[in-house]
Structure 1
Amino acid sequence: MSQELTLLQRRVVLGPAYRLFYEHPVHVVRGQDVWLEDAEGRRYLDAYNNVPVVGHANVKVVAAMTEQALKVNTHTRYLNENVVDYAERLLALFPAELNRVVFTCTGSEANDLALRIAHDMTGRKGVIVTANAYHGVTSLLADMSPSLRPVGDYVEVVPSPLSFVGTPDEINAQFSEAIDLAAERLDQRGTPVCALLIDTVFASDGLYLPSRGVIRAAAEAVRRHGGLFIADEVQGGFARVGGNWWAFMQDDVVPDIVTLGKPMGNGHPIGAVVVKDALLDEFGKQSRYFNTFGGNTVSAAVGLAVLSELKRINATEQALHVGRLMEAGLKGIAQDYATVGAVRGSGLYWSVELTPSAQVAEQSATLAAAIVNGLREDGVLIGTCGNRNHILKIRPPLTFRPEHVELFIQALRRQFTSLDLQ
């Protein structure tokens, strides 16, 4: 009996809610930069994991974590330079109006706290989200994550920008109108809108990049109804889209609240809420927030090291440059294969929507799964997104370089050839 099969059998203790990637799961034992290695010593090019934003097992990040853990690890009720230094350096990457930060352990905690602030500051409960959104694992956030389950009765769902057709200005207007109508429905039900919560790259919906003004239009729409705009930057933040540190900056708009997570710690659990001081000052007068591990001294040291590494690799420009090569490769495949319906993305976040000709649309999910599993066998890791999981999702560490793009595009072409796609 193989080691993997034994491990799969033992995994029953984790319960059925857990899921594994790939028909033949990868037993990962180590990682380095953009590579993962399995128990048999085979390497895989990681074009999926956005959490290790500066590469797997980054030595600078691991050293900072170890050094601080050997000194002290405690919470924010004691003074510590690391925590304040990290807060100042993080906020320096944001527009001046976003000048306060509260640390959490996860993006879910960050979104939960952002909604608590919005609820308390507006005196309202209604929330607007997009059709296949995912915002976290708490009960509150599951109620506003239609990709997980039906939303709560105080939540209104609007189509994502991917659902609309026309010029960017026309799409912006349609998305704005959808938010207007959703706010009106909430008002009619007696739960007026307190916030629009959107993932600024619309990742679970299938990726809408570049945004071309749609985020600004959305913010203006919810503010017309007295609601706040919460930008969920867990997926799009930290230079992922290239050119800017945050995806919302593409649209020259300043959110009321921004939430951060996953990439902050390169695998170490950190999250944050970045907010305007007027909101947080008022919230602090009415309530209090303490998180034992949010903003602990080790997490702060890790966060500082991640920021230093992002600056070292010039992440905003690195993602932009390598992203252009990825775009050229993916659009080259799209020109050669009618199976590709759309290529969307910016920086180092890309999606490839599959729309097989002469097949019903539902079969595109089967095709996407075949490509993802074929790539896994070929030593390349990606995932899927969209309401039917029919869209290939590509989001490697930001240390991806031109030679990695070339390896990836070659492997993807091999899959289209082996599946005899046209």
Structure 2
Amino acid sequence: GFVNSGSEANGLALRLMRAHTGRENAIVLDWAYHGTTQELIDISAYKFRRKGGKGQKPHAHVATVPDSYHAPADWPIEEHGKRFAESVAELIAAMRAKGEAPGFFLAESIPSVAGQVFLPDGYLKEVYRMVRETGGVCIADEVQVGFGRVGSHWWAFETQGVVPDIVTMGKPIGNGHPLAAVVTTREIASSFNNGMEFFNTFGGNPVSCAVGLAVLDVIERQELRRNALEIGNYLIAVFRKMQMRYDVIGDVRGLGLFLGIELVSDRKTKAPATEIARAVSNGARQRGVLMGTEGPHDNVLKMRPPMIFSKRDADHLIAVLDETFMAVVAGGA
């Protein structure tokens, strides 16, 4: 189904889920963000736990962010997916103890405002299995990371080798034009076809659909997915060299043109270098390059360049970052 925004897409996904399961309980990741409507803010810890937020509602169950960089030191790397999934198992067990069950699990395929976090191998397989065993629905939010941005795949959930029950997509589908979509299984669509019609005045209007088709054509014809992977790999390699020069760079992570550099005041304790991240972000802005800071401590530099980003653009970004780091570190910001 076509809608106008990522928020509408996630809202429709929740309606599909309710029609199919008759449940309300949500399992979401900590620091997740899923949209602007009240029902989505209620399941977005990034909103309800911050300033102005109203706190956690009883139907929102928040799982630990599966952030490998901050995993306990004694966890073997190959077990990170399984170990982090235990947080979801605990939430399900607590629900069952009250005679309840989850309606759905919803996650961004790469948590973004949580700090550009890349899910450990096997995490979604494990979580999807648990949720489905209870009759719950698995939803992948591809609003930021879909449409080939990760380069290696068209959809970021494919990197985990899973097939969701519902996929939501937003901004990239129209390259900024108001267009979004929801894809689901025939089984869930049949449950939704219960007499309460879904109607959206502008969803799927001819102009938006023409835009969406043009965007797909450009991504395919200009091989922007391959470009995202090649330029992304180049940037990651250079950022890792920068990491050797600047102790404040604790972690470099990314896939395609979805990148994060986590800044720390101490590499052993991984304590966040929030002020330095702000100084680097502002310094880059003054030099004409925009990037945000993300994560619970705002210490992760977040980069999502346009998919047409060239090697020349990448070199400009690198030069600006290098100059900024040098100025900030020398200035002791």
Q: Same fold (TM over 0.5)?
A: yes
1:144 aligns with 2:43: yes
Contact 1:210/1:345 (<8 A) preserved: no
The 5 A counterparts of 1:21-420 are 102-149=1-48, 150-162=55-67, 163-165=70-72, 166-209=75-118, 211-357=120-266, 364-420=273-329
Larger relative CO (CA 8 A, sep 6+): 1 or 2? 1
1: CA distance between counterparts of 2:297 and 2:329?
22
In structure 2, the CA distance between the partners of 1:391 and 1:199, relative to structure 1 (3 Å rule), is same
Contact 1:154/1:186 (<8 A) preserved: no
Q: Deviations over 1:198-220 (max 9, x none)?
A: 00001121122364232222212
Give 5+ residue unaligned stretches, structure 2.
49-54
Contact 1:129/1:157 (<8 A) preserved: yes
In structure 2, the CA distance between the partners of 1:269 and 1:404, relative to structure 1 (3 Å rule), is same
- Residue 185 (structure 1) shift: 2.1
Aligned to 1:30: none
1: CA distance between counterparts of 2:159 and 2:255?
11
2: CA distance between counterparts of 1:256 and 1:222?
11
TM-score by length of 1: 0.73
In structure 2, the CA distance between the partners of 1:210 and 1:400, relative to structure 1 (3 Å rule), is farther
- Residue 298 (structure 1) shift: 0.7
Q: Which moved more, 1:157-166 or 1:346-355?
A: 157-166
For the aligned residues, what is the CA RMSD? 1.9
Contact 2:264/2:271 (<8 A) preserved: no
Q: Kindly provide the amino acid, as one letter, of the partner of residue 71 in structure 2.
A: F
Q: Kindly provide the amino acid, as one letter, of the partner of residue 145 in structure 1.
A: S
Aligned to 2:250, the other structure's residue is in SS state strand
Contact 2:250/2:267 (<8 A) preserved: no
2: CA distance between counterparts of 1:191 and 1:304?
43
Aligned residues: 321
Q: Kindly provide the amino acid, as one letter, of the partner of residue 188 in structure 1.
A: A
Q: Kindly provide the amino acid, as one letter, of the partner of residue 151 in structure 1.
A: Q
Aligned to 2:329, the other structure's residue is in SS state coil
Q: Deviations over 1:69-124 (max 9, x none)?
A: xxxxxxxxxxxxxxxxxxxxxxxxxxxxxxxxx01111011111101111221111
1: CA distance between counterparts of 2:95 and 2:306?
39
1: CA distance between counterparts of 2:316 and 2:122?
33
Q: Deviations over 1:332-353 (max 9, x none)?
A: 1111111111111100001011
Q: Deviations over 1:276-301 (max 9, x none)?
A: 11111221135321110111111101
Aligned to 2:51: none
2: CA distance between counterparts of 1:214 and 1:169?
11
Q: Deviations over 1:234-256 (max 9, x none)?
A: 11101111111100011221000
